[in-house]
């Protein structure tokens, strides 16, 4: 599809990253939109249902291709083997309220790409910036680059000298305000999905739509008993699925909610040190870390002092890690590559706990906010849960092939039925009913309910062991596993191992456990 687009109508989002996507610009066409609305009415809702299953068709039917700079709708396509489509509306961030209080100039201390982008937007008469939000990450249109640019973090090209010079004394109140407006709040919000949304999403599954068609056909043939049984089974299945998904959504919301209720001392360029809620932090803010234990509400670069951090939440390692300040060098090399050592030793990651903060000669442990919200390490972890990667397992491929075989068999049977009843002189409505009835026989309408029941039962068993799943369809894949490997002690367990017992090996395999006071040498 991308080959048919002119220059400026197509670009890559997150180029080179794991979640890379192709991006195409579209503009809503009023005539096409009117025709689609009429088609939705005359098709009795079938057309919107098709658009729900095929997002790209929705965009192609309602919009015309245009440059990304003029687009009000952006069509996204993943670059992996699945090539999944989605679309996003382009929204505007209005900066009029900040114009009288603050205006950036080219020689302003904040001269990163993000600030230049904001500066150009402010100089415009309309005082607004175009942006899209994809998988919880905000992207703002950059005119000079001709693409949507991720915001909510300091740029990678900044050198250590610039970080120390421009952010070492904190931001002014005006600078903080404009960054809050452009970057958004520093929150990792996982909304509790409303029950009606879960219900609609479950009911609009193609299997259940086919089931609805089958039930309506059976009622028209006065085949009520089996139809009522299928309806009852489906209602129970859908209700249990929605209940479990809702429960998992609530648990995930509570799990990450603590991130947004932290108060931290922030140093402003003019206001001095003040206590602020973590949700108002922006990239470039200067944090003051005291000797008390604190959970990091964002990713931050340590520029003064040293810290001992527990990163078990992210890495699973129980051994505390020592963080050192970012050295100030005169080189223009980006701060991540200026030394041979790993740059992560200077970064305090969101969600980790600062156990000890030791000040240097300046008398304070200072860190510059690097990333906020879902851009942080913890945000990436949560996003991986919310947006799991699609999987191409043989189980799914075989299931699709099986259904296609059933559909093919049903088609042959339907053609044969049409021929027999037409030659017999049956009434047209009876011919249609009998032909459609063949499809409901070949493809079992109770199949989705049966599959859902199995998944729900598996979820109940996992729940008893404290295991929760927000993507129940993957449970079927887990049933194919016959071997599980763990990388090393310390990731899922504690730092060391204690001798629990010995398993002697006999001629026919392992014997019963043998307990006793044994030395390590006698075991190994």
DSSP string, 410-426: HHHHHHHHHHHHHHTT-
Last residue of a domain, one of 386, 416, 451: 386
Q: Cα 55 vs. chain centroid, distance in angstroms?
A: 18
The residues near 369 (Cβ < 8 Å, ≥ 6 apart) are 154, 281, 282, 283, 284, 285, 286, 287, 298, 299, 300
Measure the CA–CA gap between 353 and 356, rounded to whole angstroms. 9
- pLDDT below 50 — which residues of the chain? 1-4, 100-113, 118, 120-125, 516-524
Burial class (CB in 10 A: 0-12, 13-18, 19+), 93: middle
Q: Which conformational region is residue 140 in: left (phi greater than 0), alpha (psi within -120 to 50 degrees), or beta?
A: beta
For tokens 């396509």, what's the residue?
77
260 neighbors 279 (Cβ within 8 angstroms): yes
Q: Is residue 378 part of a domain?
A: yes
Percent of the chain with pLDDT over 70: 82
436 domain residue, yes or no: no
User: 């442990």: which residue's tokens?
Assistant: 365
Task: Name the pairing type of β-strands 505-506 and 509-510.
Answer: antiparallel
Q: How far apart are the first and last CA of the chain?
A: 62
Q: Which residues pair with 410 in a beta bridge?
A: none
Decide if 174 contacts 109 (C-beta within 8 A).
no
- Determine, yes or no, domain membership for 150: no
CA 180/CA 170 separation, integer angstroms: 15
Q: Is residue 402 a part of any domain in this protein?
A: no
80-86 long-range contacts, CB within 8 A, separation 24+: 80/389, 80/390, 81/392, 82/390, 82/392, 84/390, 85/54, 85/55, 85/56, 86/55
- What is the b/e burial string over 341-350, where b = at least 16 CB atoms within 10 angstroms of the residue's CB? eeeeebbbbb
Is residue 289 included in any domain, yes or no?
yes
Q: 267 by DSSP, 3-state: which?
A: strand
Closest C-alpha to 389, from 97, 118, 72, 82: 82
Residue with tokens 């991308």: 2
- Six token digits for residue 84: 């999944």
Give, in degrees to the nearest 5, the angle at Cα 263 between 260 and 265: 135
Residue 367 falls inside a structural domain: yes
Is residue 275 within 8 Å of 265, Cβ to Cβ? yes
Query: Is 258 a domain residue?
Result: no
Tokens representing 294?
A: 């604190």
**Who's near 453: CB < 8 A, 6+ residues apart?**
237, 240
Rounded-to-integer distance, Cα 506 and Cα 512, Å: 10
Other CB atoms within a 10 A radius of the CB of residue 148 amount to 24
d(CA 284, CA 269): 11
Q: Are 132 and 139 in contact (CB under 8 A)?
A: yes
The per-residue pLDDT for 255 is: 78
- Catalytically annotated residues: 487
Number of domains in the chain: 2
Of 89, 123, 152, which residue is a domain's last? Answer: 89
Tokens of residue 221, six digits: 């043939």
Q: Are 79 and 22 in contact (CB under 8 A)?
A: yes
Please report, for the domain that includes residue 273, its CATH number: 2.70.150.10
CB 120 within 8 A of CB 142: no
d(CA 114, CA 111): 8
Residue 304 CB coordination number (10 Å): 22
Give the range of the structural domain holding residue 71, as residue numbers without chain letter. 2-89
Of 58, 89, 120, the position where a domain reaches its end is 89
């Amino acid at each position: 599809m991308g080959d048919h687009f002119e220059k400026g109508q197509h670009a890559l989002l997150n180029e080179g990253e794991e979640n890379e996507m192709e991006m195409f610009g579209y503009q809503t066409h009023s005539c096409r939109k009117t025709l689609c609305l009429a088609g939705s009415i005359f098709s009795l809702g079938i057309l919107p249902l098709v658009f729900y299953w095929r997002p790209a068709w929705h965009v192609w039917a309602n919009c015309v291709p245009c440059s990304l700079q003029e687009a009000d709708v952006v069509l996204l396509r993943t670059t992996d083997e699945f090539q999944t489509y989605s679309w996003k509306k382009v929204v505007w961030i209005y900066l009029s309220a900040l114009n009288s209080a603050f205006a950036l100039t080219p020689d302003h201390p904040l001269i990163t790409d993000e600030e230049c982008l904001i500066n150009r937007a402010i100089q415009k008469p309309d005082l607004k910036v175009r942006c899209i939000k994809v998988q919880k990450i905000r992207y703002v249109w950059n005119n000079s680059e001709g693409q949507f640019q991720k915001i909510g973090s300091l740029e990678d090209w900044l050198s250590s000298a610039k970080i120390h010079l421009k952010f070492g004394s904190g931001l002014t109140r005006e600078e903080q305000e404009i960054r809050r407006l452009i970057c958004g709040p520093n929150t990792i919000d996982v909304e509790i999905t409303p029950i009606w949304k879960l219900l609609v999403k479950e009911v609009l599954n193609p299997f259940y739509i086919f089931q609805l068609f089958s039930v309506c056909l059976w009622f028209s043939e006065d085949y009520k008993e089996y139809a009522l049984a299928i309806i009852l089974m489906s209602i129970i299945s859908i209700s249990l699925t929605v209940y479990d998904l809702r429960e998992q959504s609530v648990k995930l919301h509570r799990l990450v909610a603590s991130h947004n209720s932290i108060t931290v001392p922030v140093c402003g360029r003019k206001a001095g040190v003040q206590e602020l809620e973590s949700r108002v932090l922006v990239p470039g803010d200067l944090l003051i870390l005291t000797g008390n234990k604190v959970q990091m509400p964002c990713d931050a670069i340590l520029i003064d002092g040293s810290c001992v951090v527990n990163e078990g939440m992210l890495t699973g390692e129980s051994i505390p890690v020592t963080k050192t300040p970012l050295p100030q060098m005169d080189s223009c090399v980006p701060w991540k590559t200026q030394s041979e050592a790993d740059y992560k030793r200077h970064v305090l990651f969101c969600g980790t706990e600062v156990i000890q903060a030791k000040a240097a000669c300046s008398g304070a442990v200072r860190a510059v906010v690097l990333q906020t919200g879902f851009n942080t390490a913890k945000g990436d972890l949560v996003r991986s849960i919310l947006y799991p990667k699609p999987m191409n397992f043989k189980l799914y491929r075989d299931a699709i092939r099986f259904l296609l075989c059933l559909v093919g068999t049903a088609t042959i049977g339907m053609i044969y039925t049409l021929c027999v009843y037409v030659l017999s002189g049956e009434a047209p409505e009876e011919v249609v009913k009998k032909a459609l009835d063949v499809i409901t026989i070949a493809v079992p309408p109770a199949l989705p309910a049966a599959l859902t029941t199995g998944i729900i039962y598996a979820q109940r068993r996992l729940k008893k062991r404290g295991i929760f799943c927000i993507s129940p369809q993957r449970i079927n894949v887990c049933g194919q596993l016959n071997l599980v490997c763990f990388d090393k002690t310390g990731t899922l367990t504690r730092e060391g191992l204690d001798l629990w017992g010995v398993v002697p090996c006999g001629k026919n395999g392992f014997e019963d456990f043998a307990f006793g006071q044994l030395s390590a040498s006698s075991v190994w």
